[in-house]
Amino acid sequence: MSSSDIADCVKRSLNRYFRDLEGEKPCAVYDMVLKSVEKPMLEVIMHQAGGNQTVAADILGINRNTLRRKLAEHHLL
């Protein structure tokens, strides 16, 4: 799966979200999308890293402390 495949999946999901609103006003879409994508991404990366936070942070390209904060935010610690 390439990054364009992931982008296409997000586009399809967002189009479905707006279609399913049936005229309701969307609210806080940015935060909703980030939270919807971030938790499963962290779960998969942590699995791929064998639970090693240093390895996971390297895979993600973020600081280990940032990873720990995000894991705590999503109740993944």
Mean pLDDT of 34-59: 97
Average pLDDT over residues 8-22: 94
Q: What is the pLDDT of residue 1?
A: 66
Q: What is the mean pLDDT of residues 61-76?
A: 97
CATH of the domain at 28: 1.10.10.60
The structural domain count of the chain equals 1
Domain of 29 in residue numbering reads as 3-73
Examine the pLDDT at 29 and tell me if it is beyond 90. Answer: yes
Query: For residue 3, is pLDDT > 80?
Result: no
Distance between CA atoms of residues 11 and 6, nearest Å: 9
- pTM given for the model: 0.80
Question: End-to-end alpha-carbon separation of the chain, Å?
Answer: 28
Alpha helices by DSSP H, the chain? 3-20, 29-48, 53-60, 64-73
Residue 53 has which token pair?
Answer: 């936070």
pLDDT at residue 23, as a whole number? 86
In this prediction, residues 38-66 reach a mean pLDDT of: 98
**Residues near 25 by beta carbon (within 8 Å), at least 6 away in sequence:** none
